[in-house]
Amino acid sequence: MVEICKSLYIMFSGEDFTFHGDRTKDDIVNFAIRMAGPPVQEVTRIESLTNLKQMNQLFFMYVGEQDGALWDAYYNVASKLQPHGFFYAASKEIAKSHVDVDELPAVFVYKESLHYFYTIESGSVSLNEMDEVEYLNSSMYKWINEERFETFPKITRGNINEILQTKKYIVLVVVEENKLQQISQEMLEFRDMVEAVIRKKRDKYHKYFQFGWIGNPELANSIAMQVLPLPHLLVLNSTTNHHHIPEDDPSQLTAEAIDIFLERIYNQSVPAYGGNTFAVRLYRTYFEARTSLADMWKGNPVLTTVLFDILDADEDEEEELLHEKKE
Protein backbone atom coordinates (compact mmCIF):
# COMPACT_ATOMS: atom_id res chain seq x y z
CA MET A 1 0.00 0.00 0.00
CA VAL A 2 2.81 2.39 0.84
CA GLU A 3 5.89 2.83 -1.31
CA ILE A 4 8.93 1.30 0.37
CA CYS A 5 12.26 3.13 0.18
CA LYS A 6 15.22 1.35 -1.37
CA SER A 7 17.13 -0.74 1.14
CA LEU A 8 20.43 0.29 2.71
CA TYR A 9 22.78 -2.49 3.80
CA ILE A 10 25.31 -2.17 6.61
CA MET A 11 27.85 -4.92 7.33
CA PHE A 12 29.10 -5.96 10.76
CA SER A 13 31.44 -8.91 11.34
CA GLY A 14 30.76 -10.21 7.85
CA GLU A 15 26.97 -10.12 8.27
CA ASP A 16 24.64 -7.81 6.33
CA PHE A 17 21.86 -5.86 8.07
CA THR A 18 19.14 -3.99 6.20
CA PHE A 19 18.23 -0.45 7.19
CA HIS A 20 14.69 0.58 6.23
CA GLY A 21 14.35 3.93 8.05
CA ASP A 22 14.69 7.52 6.94
CA ARG A 23 17.99 8.46 5.33
CA THR A 24 18.91 10.98 8.02
CA LYS A 25 22.29 11.09 9.70
CA ASP A 26 20.90 10.44 13.20
CA ASP A 27 18.76 7.48 12.09
CA ILE A 28 21.60 5.79 10.22
CA VAL A 29 24.12 6.38 13.03
CA ASN A 30 21.70 5.05 15.68
CA PHE A 31 21.03 1.97 13.55
CA ALA A 32 24.77 1.33 13.24
CA ILE A 33 25.26 1.72 17.01
CA ARG A 34 22.45 -0.73 17.76
CA MET A 35 23.66 -3.39 15.35
CA ALA A 36 27.32 -3.08 16.39
CA GLY A 37 26.57 -4.36 19.90
CA PRO A 38 24.55 -7.16 21.53
CA PRO A 39 20.72 -7.06 21.46
CA VAL A 40 20.69 -5.99 25.13
CA GLN A 41 23.47 -3.68 26.31
CA GLU A 42 24.29 -3.66 30.01
CA VAL A 43 24.43 -0.40 31.96
CA THR A 44 26.91 -0.70 34.82
CA ARG A 45 27.27 2.91 35.98
CA ILE A 46 24.78 5.50 37.19
CA GLU A 47 26.47 8.09 35.01
CA SER A 48 25.81 5.98 31.92
CA LEU A 49 22.07 5.88 32.63
CA THR A 50 22.13 9.63 33.24
CA ASN A 51 23.75 10.16 29.85
CA LEU A 52 21.21 7.95 28.12
CA LYS A 53 18.34 9.97 29.53
CA GLN A 54 20.00 13.27 28.70
CA MET A 55 20.16 12.19 25.06
CA ASN A 56 16.34 12.36 25.07
CA GLN A 57 16.30 8.98 23.39
CA LEU A 58 13.54 6.37 23.60
CA PHE A 59 14.86 3.14 25.11
CA PHE A 60 13.75 0.00 26.97
CA MET A 61 15.35 -1.26 30.17
CA TYR A 62 15.23 -4.51 32.13
CA VAL A 63 15.93 -4.23 35.86
CA GLY A 64 16.92 -7.22 37.99
CA GLU A 65 18.70 -10.56 37.78
CA GLN A 66 19.23 -11.67 34.20
CA ASP A 67 17.50 -15.03 34.38
CA GLY A 68 13.98 -16.38 34.50
CA ALA A 69 10.98 -16.17 32.17
CA LEU A 70 10.73 -12.36 32.11
CA TRP A 71 14.40 -11.92 31.21
CA ASP A 72 14.15 -14.57 28.48
CA ALA A 73 11.07 -12.89 26.99
CA TYR A 74 12.74 -9.47 27.09
CA TYR A 75 15.94 -10.74 25.48
CA ASN A 76 14.03 -12.61 22.75
CA VAL A 77 12.07 -9.50 21.81
CA ALA A 78 15.22 -7.36 21.89
CA SER A 79 16.90 -9.80 19.50
CA LYS A 80 14.01 -9.44 17.04
CA LEU A 81 13.65 -5.67 17.31
CA GLN A 82 17.32 -4.74 17.69
CA PRO A 83 17.34 -2.90 14.32
CA HIS A 84 14.53 -0.66 15.54
CA GLY A 85 15.21 0.20 19.18
CA PHE A 86 17.67 0.47 22.05
CA PHE A 87 17.48 -2.22 24.75
CA TYR A 88 19.39 -2.10 28.04
CA ALA A 89 19.66 -4.00 31.30
CA ALA A 90 20.70 -2.71 34.72
CA SER A 91 20.74 -3.72 38.36
CA LYS A 92 18.25 -2.28 40.83
CA GLU A 93 21.04 -0.22 42.39
CA ILE A 94 21.71 1.51 39.06
CA ALA A 95 18.06 1.97 38.09
CA LYS A 96 16.78 3.22 41.46
CA SER A 97 18.83 6.40 41.10
CA HIS A 98 16.40 7.45 38.34
CA VAL A 99 13.15 5.54 38.80
CA ASP A 100 11.19 3.85 41.57
CA VAL A 101 11.04 0.09 41.00
CA ASP A 102 8.52 -1.59 43.29
CA GLU A 103 9.00 -5.21 42.19
CA LEU A 104 11.82 -7.12 40.54
CA PRO A 105 12.38 -8.06 37.84
CA ALA A 106 10.82 -5.17 35.91
CA VAL A 107 10.80 -3.73 32.40
CA PHE A 108 10.12 -0.12 31.49
CA VAL A 109 10.32 2.17 28.49
CA TYR A 110 11.75 5.66 28.83
CA LYS A 111 10.36 8.21 26.41
CA GLU A 112 9.60 11.91 26.49
CA SER A 113 11.09 12.16 30.03
CA LEU A 114 8.63 9.61 31.46
CA HIS A 115 8.83 5.96 32.51
CA TYR A 116 6.14 3.46 31.51
CA PHE A 117 6.31 -0.03 33.02
CA TYR A 118 5.39 -3.33 31.44
CA THR A 119 2.58 -4.95 33.44
CA ILE A 120 0.97 -8.35 33.20
CA GLU A 121 -2.74 -7.88 32.66
CA SER A 122 -5.00 -9.10 35.43
CA GLY A 123 -6.75 -12.40 34.78
CA SER A 124 -3.86 -13.76 32.71
CA VAL A 125 -2.73 -16.39 35.24
CA SER A 126 -0.88 -19.23 33.50
CA LEU A 127 -1.73 -22.85 34.23
CA ASN A 128 1.82 -24.14 33.93
CA GLU A 129 5.36 -23.05 33.20
CA MET A 130 5.04 -23.60 29.45
CA ASP A 131 1.92 -21.44 29.29
CA GLU A 132 3.69 -18.72 31.28
CA VAL A 133 6.65 -18.63 28.91
CA GLU A 134 4.39 -18.51 25.85
CA TYR A 135 2.25 -15.76 27.36
CA LEU A 136 5.24 -13.63 28.38
CA ASN A 137 6.84 -13.90 24.94
CA SER A 138 3.62 -12.83 23.22
CA SER A 139 2.70 -10.15 25.75
CA MET A 140 6.20 -8.66 25.90
CA TYR A 141 6.49 -8.47 22.11
CA LYS A 142 3.09 -6.81 21.81
CA TRP A 143 3.88 -4.24 24.51
CA ILE A 144 7.34 -3.33 23.20
CA ASN A 145 6.08 -3.18 19.62
CA GLU A 146 3.39 -0.71 20.68
CA GLU A 147 5.67 1.39 22.90
CA ARG A 148 8.67 1.75 20.55
CA PHE A 149 7.29 4.94 19.03
CA GLU A 150 6.91 8.39 20.53
CA THR A 151 3.46 9.67 21.42
CA PHE A 152 3.23 11.96 18.39
CA PRO A 153 6.00 11.15 15.87
CA LYS A 154 6.55 12.52 12.41
CA ILE A 155 5.46 9.84 9.94
CA THR A 156 7.28 9.43 6.65
CA ARG A 157 7.63 6.89 3.86
CA GLY A 158 10.68 5.63 5.72
CA ASN A 159 8.92 4.70 8.97
CA ILE A 160 5.22 4.27 8.18
CA ASN A 161 5.51 0.54 7.48
CA GLU A 162 7.06 0.01 10.92
CA ILE A 163 4.33 2.09 12.57
CA LEU A 164 1.71 -0.03 10.83
CA GLN A 165 3.13 -3.03 12.73
CA THR A 166 1.55 -1.69 15.92
CA LYS A 167 -1.79 -3.01 14.58
CA LYS A 168 -3.49 0.12 15.91
CA TYR A 169 -5.56 2.82 14.30
CA ILE A 170 -3.04 5.38 12.97
CA VAL A 171 -4.30 8.94 13.51
CA LEU A 172 -2.58 11.13 10.91
CA VAL A 173 -2.50 14.91 11.00
CA VAL A 174 -1.78 15.98 7.43
CA VAL A 175 0.08 19.26 6.97
CA GLU A 176 2.65 20.52 4.47
CA GLU A 177 6.24 21.49 5.18
CA ASN A 178 8.13 23.84 2.92
CA LYS A 179 11.71 23.25 1.79
CA LEU A 180 12.94 24.59 5.13
CA GLN A 181 10.65 22.12 6.96
CA GLN A 182 8.47 24.97 8.18
CA ILE A 183 4.70 24.80 8.60
CA SER A 184 2.19 27.62 8.22
CA GLN A 185 0.64 29.00 11.40
CA GLU A 186 -2.83 27.65 10.56
CA MET A 187 -1.53 24.12 10.01
CA LEU A 188 0.69 24.32 13.08
CA GLU A 189 -2.28 25.25 15.28
CA PHE A 190 -4.30 22.34 13.87
CA ARG A 191 -1.45 19.89 14.47
CA ASP A 192 -0.95 21.13 18.04
CA MET A 193 -4.67 20.83 18.75
CA VAL A 194 -4.78 17.17 17.67
CA GLU A 195 -1.57 16.41 19.56
CA ALA A 196 -3.15 17.82 22.71
CA VAL A 197 -5.91 15.19 22.45
CA ILE A 198 -3.49 12.27 22.91
CA ARG A 199 -1.35 14.14 25.44
CA LYS A 200 -4.36 14.81 27.67
CA LYS A 201 -6.11 11.46 27.14
CA ARG A 202 -3.27 8.99 26.76
CA ASP A 203 -4.89 6.44 29.07
CA LYS A 204 -8.00 6.44 26.88
CA TYR A 205 -6.45 6.24 23.43
CA HIS A 206 -2.93 4.83 23.67
CA LYS A 207 -3.92 1.16 23.63
CA TYR A 208 -5.85 1.40 20.36
CA PHE A 209 -4.58 4.53 18.58
CA GLN A 210 -1.13 5.68 17.47
CA PHE A 211 -1.06 9.41 16.75
CA GLY A 212 1.37 11.13 14.41
CA TRP A 213 1.72 13.80 11.76
CA ILE A 214 2.68 13.87 8.09
CA GLY A 215 4.57 16.78 6.52
CA ASN A 216 4.32 15.36 3.00
CA PRO A 217 0.71 15.46 1.73
CA GLU A 218 1.58 13.08 -1.15
CA LEU A 219 1.85 10.19 1.33
CA ALA A 220 -1.57 10.94 2.81
CA ASN A 221 -3.09 11.45 -0.64
CA SER A 222 -1.81 8.02 -1.65
CA ILE A 223 -3.52 6.45 1.36
CA ALA A 224 -6.81 8.30 0.78
CA MET A 225 -6.56 8.04 -3.05
CA GLN A 226 -7.61 11.65 -3.35
CA VAL A 227 -6.04 15.07 -2.98
CA LEU A 228 -6.84 16.13 0.57
CA PRO A 229 -7.35 19.79 1.49
CA LEU A 230 -4.93 21.04 4.13
CA PRO A 231 -4.77 20.73 7.02
CA HIS A 232 -6.54 17.40 7.28
CA LEU A 233 -7.19 14.46 9.59
CA LEU A 234 -6.96 10.88 8.37
CA VAL A 235 -7.28 7.69 10.42
CA LEU A 236 -5.83 4.48 8.97
CA ASN A 237 -6.73 1.00 10.19
CA SER A 238 -3.34 -0.73 10.16
CA THR A 239 -4.83 -4.24 10.04
CA THR A 240 -7.30 -3.79 7.15
CA ASN A 241 -5.86 -0.71 5.34
CA HIS A 242 -9.27 0.97 5.50
CA HIS A 243 -9.25 4.66 6.31
CA HIS A 244 -11.66 7.14 7.90
CA ILE A 245 -12.14 10.83 7.19
CA PRO A 246 -14.20 13.27 9.31
CA GLU A 247 -17.49 14.34 7.80
CA ASP A 248 -16.91 17.90 8.99
CA ASP A 249 -14.37 20.28 7.49
CA PRO A 250 -11.12 19.28 9.29
CA SER A 251 -10.05 22.90 9.64
CA GLN A 252 -13.18 23.48 11.75
CA LEU A 253 -12.68 20.47 14.02
CA THR A 254 -12.42 20.96 17.76
CA ALA A 255 -10.82 18.67 20.34
CA GLU A 256 -14.32 17.58 21.41
CA ALA A 257 -15.29 16.73 17.82
CA ILE A 258 -12.10 14.69 17.37
CA ASP A 259 -12.86 12.84 20.60
CA ILE A 260 -16.31 11.87 19.28
CA PHE A 261 -14.89 10.95 15.86
CA LEU A 262 -12.30 8.58 17.37
CA GLU A 263 -14.90 6.97 19.63
CA ARG A 264 -17.09 6.29 16.59
CA ILE A 265 -14.14 4.76 14.75
CA TYR A 266 -13.43 2.44 17.67
CA ASN A 267 -17.13 1.50 17.80
CA GLN A 268 -17.07 1.00 13.99
CA SER A 269 -19.96 3.40 13.48
CA VAL A 270 -18.35 5.63 10.81
CA PRO A 271 -17.89 4.97 7.08
CA ALA A 272 -14.70 3.17 6.06
CA TYR A 273 -13.00 3.69 2.73
CA GLY A 274 -10.24 1.95 0.83
CA GLY A 275 -9.03 -1.42 1.99
CA ASN A 276 -6.69 -3.90 0.38
CA THR A 277 -8.73 -5.55 -2.35
CA PHE A 278 -7.36 -5.96 -5.88
CA ALA A 279 -9.66 -3.24 -7.20
CA VAL A 280 -8.50 -0.78 -4.54
CA ARG A 281 -4.82 -1.55 -5.17
CA LEU A 282 -5.36 -1.11 -8.91
CA TYR A 283 -7.06 2.26 -8.41
CA ARG A 284 -4.31 3.41 -6.03
CA THR A 285 -1.69 2.60 -8.68
CA TYR A 286 -3.68 4.60 -11.23
CA PHE A 287 -4.11 7.51 -8.80
CA GLU A 288 -0.41 7.65 -7.93
CA ALA A 289 0.59 7.53 -11.62
CA ARG A 290 -1.87 10.28 -12.51
CA THR A 291 -0.71 12.41 -9.60
CA SER A 292 2.95 11.94 -10.50
CA LEU A 293 2.30 13.04 -14.09
CA ALA A 294 0.35 16.07 -12.88
CA ASP A 295 3.22 17.05 -10.57
CA MET A 296 5.71 16.64 -13.40
CA TRP A 297 3.64 18.88 -15.66
CA LYS A 298 3.20 21.46 -12.92
CA GLY A 299 6.90 21.52 -12.10
CA ASN A 300 8.27 21.52 -15.66
CA PRO A 301 5.74 21.31 -18.51
CA VAL A 302 8.42 21.68 -21.19
CA LEU A 303 10.47 18.73 -19.91
CA THR A 304 7.32 16.63 -19.49
CA THR A 305 6.33 17.34 -23.10
CA VAL A 306 9.80 16.35 -24.30
CA LEU A 307 9.65 13.07 -22.36
CA PHE A 308 6.29 12.18 -23.90
CA ASP A 309 7.63 13.03 -27.37
CA ILE A 310 10.57 10.66 -26.78
CA LEU A 311 8.21 7.89 -25.64
CA ASP A 312 6.01 8.41 -28.70
CA ALA A 313 9.07 8.29 -30.97
CA ASP A 314 10.23 5.03 -29.37
CA GLU A 315 6.80 3.50 -29.93
CA ASP A 316 6.83 4.57 -33.59
CA GLU A 317 10.28 3.00 -34.10
CA GLU A 318 9.10 -0.26 -32.54
CA GLU A 319 6.08 -0.35 -34.83
CA GLU A 320 8.29 0.23 -37.90
CA LEU A 321 10.62 -2.59 -36.87
CA LEU A 322 7.66 -4.94 -36.42
CA HIS A 323 6.36 -4.06 -39.92
CA GLU A 324 9.81 -4.68 -41.46
CA LYS A 325 10.07 -8.10 -39.80
CA LYS A 326 6.64 -9.10 -41.11
CA GLU A 327 7.56 -8.06 -44.67
More confident residue, 313 or 290: 290
Asked if residue 4 has pLDDT above 50, the reply is: no
User: Does a structural domain hold residue 27?
Assistant: no
Asked if residue 56 has pLDDT above 60, the reply is: yes
Angle (CA) 73-79-80 rounded to 5° is 95
Q: Residue 123 — very low, low, confident or very high, per pLDDT cuts 50/70/90? A: very low
User: Does a structural domain hold residue 70?
Assistant: yes
User: Does a structural domain hold residue 52?
Assistant: yes
Q: What is the pLDDT of residue 158?
A: 87
One domain for residues 64 and 109: yes
Asked if residue 277 has pLDDT above 70, the reply is: yes
Phi-psi region of 273 (alpha: psi -120 to 50; beta: other; left: phi over 0): beta
User: Across residues 75-101, what is the average pLDDT?
Assistant: 92
Any idea what the CATH number is for the domain that residue 99 is in? 3.40.30.10
One domain for residues 246 and 302: no
- Please, what sign has the CA dihedral across residues 255, 259, 265, 271? negative
CA atoms of 114 and 152, how far apart (whole Å): 14
One domain for residues 54 and 111: yes
- Report the percentage of the chain scoring pLDDT > 90: 59
More confident residue, 244 or 301: 244
Q: What is the per-residue pLDDT across 129-162, written as a single tens digit (0 to 9) for each?
A: 667 788 888 999 999 999 999 999 999 988 999 9
Q: What is the pLDDT of residue 300?
A: 63
Give the residue numbers spanning the domain of 310. 278-326
**Which of residues 84, 115, 147 is at a domain's end?**
147
DSSP assignment of 286-320, as one string?
HHHHHHHHHHHHHH-HHHHHHHHHHHHHHHHHHHH
One domain for residues 127 and 98: yes
Asked if residue 126 has pLDDT above 80, the reply is: no
Question: Structure pTM?
Answer: 0.79
More confident residue, 60 or 318: 60
One domain for residues 208 and 140: no
Asked if residue 94 has pLDDT above 70, the reply is: yes
**Which of residues 125, 147, 169 is at a domain's end?**
147
Name the residue type at position 311.
L
Q: How many helices (H) and strands (E) does the chain have?
A: 12, 12
Q: Count up the domains in the chain and report the number.
A: 3
Q: What is the pLDDT of residue 281?
A: 82
- Report the percentage of the chain scoring pLDDT > 70: 80
User: Across residues 276-294, what is the average pLDDT?
Assistant: 79
Angle (CA) 206-160-119 rounded to 5° is 30
User: Does a structural domain hold residue 20?
Assistant: no
Q: What is the pLDDT of residue 267?
A: 95
Asked if residue 291 has pLDDT above 90, the reply is: no
